[in-house]
Amino acid sequence: MMNMKYDRYEPRPEDFSGVRLPDELEPLVELMAKNVHEVWAAGRMAEGWTWGPVRDDALKQHPCLVSYEELPESERDYDRATALNTLKLILSLGFKIQR
């Protein structure tokens, strides 16, 4: 049985199709992606998770509890998308990012 409170939820992320990330911010995507992974991993470890060859919720093991550089490309792409969308949201809201 569906929970009536949640079965009507429809995600509506911002549309960033018209937002172009300036070339000088491209390196920031990778730095942010690495940090996204570090924050996720630290949170998991704080909850008692450890590395395991396959995800096992009962044993709290996860194969992605490795350094960002050791992640499969698909996982790094996921973190990059999070970083890229965050930067595009900041820009679309009218903020400027400067060094």
| pLDDT at site 16 | 86
Question: How far is the CA of 51 from the CAs of 33, 45, 48, 60, 79, in angstroms?
Answer: 20, 9, 10, 8, 19
| pLDDT at site 4 | 63
Can you tell me the mean pLDDT for 41-66?
Answer: 98
| pLDDT beyond 80 at 71 | yes
> Percentage of residues in the chain with pLDDT exceeding 90?
83
- Three-class SS state of 5: coil
What is the CA 68 to chain-centroid distance, rounded?
A: 12
pLDDT in tens, 2-44: 566 677 889 999 888 889 999 999 999 999 999 999 999 999 9
> Percentage of residues in the chain with pLDDT exceeding 70?
94
**Domain 23-92, CATH among 3.10.450.50, 1.10.490.160, 3.30.1330.40, 2.40.50.100:** 1.10.490.160
Mean pLDDT value across the chain: 93
Can you tell me the mean pLDDT for 60-74?
Answer: 98
**Residue 79 contacts residue 41 (beta carbons within 8 Å):** no
| Domain-wise residue ranges, the chain | 23-92
